[in-house]
Amino acid sequence: MSKIEEGLLYKESHEWVKVDGNVAIIGVSDFAQSEMGDITYVDMPDIDDEIAAGDDFGALESVKTSSELVAPVSGKVIARNDELEDKPELINEDAYAAWIIKVEMSDKSELDALLNAAAYAEIAK
Amino acid sequence: MDNSLKTTCLHDLHVELGAKMSPFAGFDMPIQYSGIIDEHNAVRHAVGVFDVSHMGEIFISGPDAESFVNHIFTNDVRGMAPGSILYGMMLYPDGGTVDDLLVYKEKEDRHFLLVVNASNIEKDYTWMLEQAEGFDVRIDNRSAEWGQIAVQGPEAEKAVCEVLGLPEAAPLGFYTFCDCVRDGKRVIVSRTGYTGEDGFEIYASPEQTQAYWRALMAAGVKPCGLGCRDTLRFEAGLPLYGDELTADISPVMAGLGMFCKLDKPGFIGREALVAQKAEGVARKLVGIELADKAVPRHGYPVELEDGTEVGVVTTGYHSISLEKSICFALVDSAHAALGTPLRIRIRKNTFPGVVVKKRFYQTNYKK
């Protein structure tokens, strides 16, 4: 049974968002890391890249598969978790601590399209 | 689980162990237990066990058994010593590959065991029957009656001798086998594998196979799934039917010409291979090593510096043992020489690489 953290918003494609004012902190869910197995590489966008909700902004690679990361919101990348470059396994260890990017949102109303923990729990099983 | 899937005799034990199960070759198979990296490293540095009961066992016997096997098989089985094993392929007349397989020469005169890929059992069996016209042979597909486990790694001999009580395994050389009898039933122990390490493949009844599996679990031998079976065989430069060998990829293209004895009496596909050797092939299988950690996957395009597409990745990983991104790719022969710079398109970017030898990992077979 995978862990679903309360208080976060989720996208059907298994990304999570933690809202901090106008900033969206984005990662992937415990369900996603468990489905993928050992994560070996995180393909991340650069700082200042613009990402658009629904588009790929990077990818996770595990030994066996790769999985695209889909942006839950639109905006500008203001930070990325460079620790994942050398330690992608941090996502396996704690998917909610190992954030991937932080985005300055251009349209906070996009958050309304995301799922709360209870709704996401219906998908992540 | 999809009810149309077949199961091996060890299926319930995998589920009990909490394996991640997935369809493979029509079987519901374990992909991983503790994790691909952990299982991979167990085989490289200690010992692991795989359920390979899905593999096919086809027995060939009769007065013409030797000439028939030699007719459908690329390697030369004439004069094989009883207890020896040869690797090779079955080919279509155009040189495309029907399957790659092991041929075991049995103790009894004119008896062979052919071990084929799970995904190809029906196709191979039908192919053999179709080619048997004019040969006095019996072709017996016994795949469903045999369980098979692969015990692989530097500590495999100890596990097979001591945990499984099969000391007959110890004196075996690489690519030889022996027959044992346990509980009145035949057990075949062969020093073979698909990992690049020393190890054994053990063929037994379903009940005996279950007992062996339980004994290995009790002794702490790591259960290994198909996930690391693929990473291990890939690093060792071994092809997988469906990726590096197909109906469109001949052994000459795949760099497996050494297993095709063109000087033996005619075999199906021989003329095509002779022509391919003489005229050269359009594409060849190569190894490519990337500078970056991005992972090349099956189907990704291989390009020249100027963006011209010259090939396609057949298998790729961020190698667990070598800690770099490597792949097999089928590329135009003009760009297949060692040292050739090539790029691989991975999602939106291309990444630089260079052609290297396909045996990425130094294998550790028993001499």
- Complex ipTM value: 0.79
- Chain A residues closer than 8 Å to B20 by CB: 37
Cβ distance of A37 and B32 shorter than 8 Å? yes
Other beta carbons less than 10 A from residue B184's beta carbon: 6
**Looking at chain A, which residue has its C-alpha nearest residue B230?**
A64
* Residue ranges with strand state E in B212-280: 222-224
* Among B44, B33, B87, B363, residue whose Cα is nearest residue B226: B33
The residue with tokens 């075999």 is: B267
Rounded to 5, what percent of chain B is helix, strand, coil? 25, 35, 40
Report the share of chain A in percent with pLDDT over 90.
89
Q: How far is B357 from chain A (nearest CA, A)?
A: 21
Q: Quote the pLDDT of residue A65.
A: 87
Give residue B118's pLDDT.
97
pTM for the predicted model, two decimal places: 0.92
Token pair listed for B189: 């122990």
Q: What pLDDT was estimated at residue B114? A: 98
Residue A118 neighbours by CB under 8 Å, 6+ apart = none
Rg (CA), chain B: 21
Contacts of B311 (CB under 8 A, 6+ apart): B283, B286, B301, B302, B329, B330, B331, B332, B335, B342
The answer to whether the CB atoms of A40 and B295 lie below 8 A apart is: yes
For chain A, how many helices (H) and strands (E)? 4, 9
Chain A positions in Cβ-Cβ contact with residue B347 (cut-off 8 Å): 43, 56, 59, 68
A62 Cα to chain B: minimum distance (Å): 9
Q: Which of B20, B40, B318 comes nearest A61 by C-beta?
A: B318
Q: Are B128 and B58 in contact (CB under 8 A)?
A: yes
Residue-wise pLDDT for A57-108, tens only, equals 999 999 988 899 999 999 999 999 999 999 999 999 999 999 999 999 999 9
Let me know: does B102 contact B85? Beta carbons within 8 Å: yes
- Cβ atoms of A104 and A37 within 8 Å: the answer is no
Query: Among A59, A64, A66, whose Cβ lies nearest the Cβ of B36?
Result: A64
From the list B37, B293, B295, the residue facing A66 with the nearest CB is B295
List B49's β-bridge partners, or say none.
B151, B223
Q: Using CA atoms, how far apart are residues A22 and B304, in angstroms rounded to an integer? A: 44
Q: How many CB pairs under 8 A join A and B?
A: 39
The angle subtended at Cα A93 by Cα A91 and Cα A94, nearest 5°, is 70
Please spell the DSSP secondary structure of B19-77, one letter per residue. Answer: -EEEEETTEEEEEESS-HHHHHHHHHHS-EEEE-TTSEEEEEESTTHHHHHHHH-SS--
Quick check: A1 pLDDT over 70? no
Give the integer Cα–Cα distance in Å for A79 and A102: 5
pLDDT value, residue B72: 98
Q: Do A37 and B35 touch (CB under 8 A)?
A: yes
pLDDT tens digit string along A3-13? 999 999 999 99
Distance CA B83, CA B105 (A): 6
Residues contacting residue B25 through CB under 8 Å, at least 6 positions apart: B54, B117, B118, B119
Residues of chain B with pLDDT under 70: 1
Pairing of strands B222-224, B48-51: parallel
* A38, A59, A61 member nearest B35 (Cβ): A38
